[in-house]
Structure 1
């Protein structure tokens, strides 16, 4: 469902451009709203969410899909944790659909999906590992890395129940906006993937923007 925001970037309390292949990690407080902005279009933002006070509680695709009865996310979707608590709600969306099944690229998946020589190419899981290594203050460890959301990514479910990776459905200036229901750690890998069309074979920057409660 397409729904535009009434918030303006000029009134934001925080803004940061995240280059392709880079990560962002930070806390949004309950009541705050943040936007992930696809600056140049066709980018994928692989994102994880954790309870800022207990990272063992984290975003769960299983609980979210079950409760909303839909494998895709858009305006009105409530993102639930592995404790079945609502963590965030998507309050605006100009893209229309976001993937919660396709997972994140890794050296292992690059090898299996593409070629042995692709194994050492940078991947989203590498970005997450670097983020938690460089920011131990968030208390997140490797075992906490679980389900992620691929914002802007197009992963249709086939009639046979499989998944395909297709051209993105985003465009320059498209965004998704979420309001935090609890204090949440946001961990984004701005996907560096060059081997499938999720990034149009050309990874580009995103912008992360926050508004106060």
Structure 2
């Protein structure tokens, strides 16, 4: 089994960078949008068996909502709880927009964007440190990203509703491995066209 380091202090994740850590059961992970309007792409796995991982389909079905906020439970592909949102000062987070990639950038914005760094590359690089590969990437959460559903069913990617200092706090329901891509996208408004840093804090105690 791959050895994983438990981070117990705050870490500022620079713009466009990746981050990962194990969050032990009962402890909290706080994601702070330091400058506002910064999307944070997020994947979570059972730390002891990474074949058990976040399932967007199970999570959306169980809560009857495609958006996440306080009280939302992140369920696995085995319908077991991985993490619970225990506090949220933003109020809306995306489950369906997915992660940007070189391929999707090229399709949406033109071949001149092929060389731009993207979230899929962040996930692959950071995941490789934990024995994860491309087949282990699943539809992800986008904290702070504003993806409304239009009347015709299409998805929009529009200006965020976050602001400097807003936070989302998650409690680990089991030992989990978290992967983060602090989104580098500059071709749509999800990061205000200027990616910025965020802070990740693993708490010593779970929220009551």
**TM-score class normalised by the smaller sequence:** over 0.9
Tell me the distance in 1 between the aligned counterparts of 2:56 and 2:189: 23
- 1:80 paired with 2:75, answer yes
Aligned length: 199
Q: Deviations over 1:47-95 (max 9, x none)?
A: 0001101111110110000000000000000010111101110000000
Structure 1 residue 145 displacement after superposition: 0.5
- 2:138 aligns with one of 146, 149, 153: 146
Helix, strand or coil at the partner of 2:161: coil
Structure 1 residue 132 displacement after superposition: 2.2
> Is residue 185–residue 191 contact of structure 2 (8 Å, CA) maintained in 1?
yes
- 1:131 paired with 2:123, answer no
Tell me the distance in 1 between the aligned counterparts of 2:182 and 2:164: 15
* Matching residue of 1:34: 29
Unaligned runs of 5+ in 2: 1-6
Q: TM-score, normalised by structure 2?
A: 0.94
Q: CA RMSD in A?
A: 1.1
Runs of 4+ in 1 over 3 A off after TM superposition: none
- Written as runs of structure 1 = structure 2, the 5 A alignment for 1:58-73 is 58-73=53-68
> Is residue 124–residue 132 contact of structure 2 (8 Å, CA) maintained in 1?
no
Q: TM-score, normalised by structure 1?
A: 0.91
Unaligned runs of 5+ in 1: 1-11
